[in-house]
Amino acid sequence: MKITDAIDTSPLKLLSNRLESLIAGRLWLKVLIGLGLGVIFGLLLGPELGLFELNTVRLITAWLALPGQVFLALIQMIVVPLVVASVVKGLAANNDIGSLKKIGAFALVFIIFTTALGTLTGIGLGQLIKPGRYIDSTALEVQMPASNVVSAEKGLPAAADVPEKLLSVFPKNPMASMVSGEMLQVILFAAILGVALISIPAQQAKPLFDLLGALQEVSMRVVSWAMYIAPFAVFGLITRLVANLGINVLAGMLMYVITVLLGLLVLLVFYLLVVKLVGKISLSFFIKELKELLLLAFSTSSSAAVMPLTLQLTENTLSIRPGIARFLVPLGATINMTGTALYQGVATVFLAQVFQVELTMVSYAFVVTMAVAASIGSPATPGAGIVILSMVLEGVGIPAAGVALLLGVDRVLDMCRTAINVLGDVVLCCVAEQLIEKDT
């Protein structure tokens, strides 16, 4: 008896249908309205008009941002159990070990390639446009002295340390990895657990799969609750952002923002070309069906928040077989961060230009390696990219405190790169489906 015969997979589809009702209710439109109102209210509260005292503005924006903080807390709280349950259940949906190995190997190669491509694209555009030339770094250099600089060579691990680095990927204590949010270790634990469960008799594996199915259902219910408050969350967070920083600060970073957006546009074209070359799905149909999912990903800034909707789209609308969709979507939502990697490349070159740090070929190699590794290990929650960037900057001799320059526009760029990350997850499923179909 197959494991999938012993497991009731209907809860996943029922929850997907409930989440799909949010789409029917035009949640994405409500979120965009919240975004627009947040900008307007932020300008009214901001320093340009001077209608309110600074302390009053901070008090108002702190309360307005509360729904956003609740939204982020719900997503961060549930992302680990959701990923564990989804990865194991995804493996259970595929009983062919040979096919599973092929899907996993292909996914790993695809993710590493596209993430490296995103980083190199970001570095190339940063060198071409040179957005850092438009920022006056005189005042910043006083606050961030050269003593903070660490050489790129010191950031690279020695050859003797590589085995230890690889060993650290394996979770010695899975519970500790879950508590600390080490997502790469969590995924590896879930994958090992899933493969081990497939290899034992279905009747023995069924109780644990049923438990994980219930955990997945509960996790997705919490995600659906978070989605209901998404419009208020976006409104409050954007209001606080614009009110506290002012529109002038955001305008000063315009060239940096344009460079990142141009890079994300390049990745968008690349993914659409991949879909076109695969040829199984009409490009016009693909764009039409994906539009609302990407708008929600843009609005929520979280691959994990829209993961149930991504599952629904890939499995039901794009007809991706469950064994592929349920394995690759949670995997991709956690480790497929192409848009984030591009952002790392642009931001590193931008800050190097601002602080006049000369980057060598070794530095660029380090940036690509770290961007790929850190993006794979990052959580699929809002704001993770800025944390990863601090790690990358420290390794190439750029003051990590330079991240403060980017905070003003990071929220908007986080929304944009999340949409590209989710697009990459869907394209990964489409290509894997075509790969398996050719072999059957």
Q: Could you tell me the CATH number of the domain that includes residue 332?
A: 1.10.3860.10
Other Cβ atoms less than 10 A from the Cβ of 276: the count is 12
Average pLDDT for residues 357-365, to the nearest whole number? 82
- Calculate the average pLDDT of the chain: 76
* pLDDT over 50 at 203, yes or no: yes
Average pLDDT for residues 325-352, to the nearest whole number? 86
Contact (Cβ atoms closer than 8 angstroms) between residue 100 and residue 245: no
Helices 97-129 and 338-354, packing angle to 10 deg: 30
* pLDDT over 80 at 86, yes or no: no
pLDDT of residue 21: 55
Q: Which residues contact 172 (CB under 8 A, 6 or more apart)?
A: none
pLDDT of residue 227: 74
pLDDT of residue 101: 76
pLDDT of residue 144: 42
Average pLDDT for residues 392-416, to the nearest whole number? 72
Average pLDDT for residues 50-55, to the nearest whole number? 82
Backbone dihedral angles phi then psi of residue 65, each to the nearest 5 degrees: -80, -5
pLDDT of residue 246: 65
* pLDDT over 70 at 390, yes or no: no
Angle at 128 (CA atoms; ends 261, 295), nearest 5 degrees: 10
Q: Give the C-alpha separation, 187 to 169, whole Å.
A: 10
Q: Tell me the Cα Rg of the chain.
A: 22
* pLDDT over 80 at 122, yes or no: yes
* pLDDT over 90 at 125, yes or no: yes
Average pLDDT for residues 332-345, to the nearest whole number? 86
Contact (Cβ atoms closer than 8 angstroms) between residue 255 and residue 353: no
* pLDDT over 80 at 432, yes or no: yes
- Number of compact structural domains in the chain: 1
Helices 322-335 and 97-129, packing angle to 10 deg: 40
Q: Which residues contact 355 (CB under 8 A, 6 or more apart)?
A: 137, 140, 141, 144, 398, 399, 402
Average pLDDT for residues 107-132, to the nearest whole number? 91
Residue-wise pLDDT tens digits, 170-198:
777 878 877 776 666 777 787 788 778 87
Residue-wise pLDDT tens digits, 204-215:
878 888 888 788
Q: Give the C-alpha separation, 99 to 190, whole Å.
A: 18
* pLDDT over 80 at 433, yes or no: yes
* pLDDT over 60 at 17, yes or no: no
Average pLDDT for residues 309-313, to the nearest whole number? 86
Look-up: residue for tokens 């970073």?
253
Q: What percent of the chain has pLDDT over 70?
A: 74
Q: Give the global pTM.
A: 0.69
Burial (CB count within 10 angstroms: exposed 0-12, middle 13-18, buried 19+), residue 200: exposed
Helix-then-strand count for the chain, H and E: 22, 0
pLDDT of residue 237: 79
Residue-wise pLDDT tens digits, 246-302:
665 566 678 888 999 999 999 999 999 999 988 778 888 998 889 888 888 887 777
Contact (Cβ atoms closer than 8 angstroms) between residue 203 and residue 211: no
Contact (Cβ atoms closer than 8 angstroms) between residue 386 and residue 406: yes
Residue-wise pLDDT tens digits, 93-118:
655 666 677 888 888 899 889 999 99
Contact (Cβ atoms closer than 8 angstroms) between residue 336 and residue 254: no
pLDDT of residue 118: 92
* pLDDT over 50 at 139, yes or no: no
More confident residue, 185 or 346: 346
Domain that holds residue 338: 3-439
pLDDT of residue 4: 45
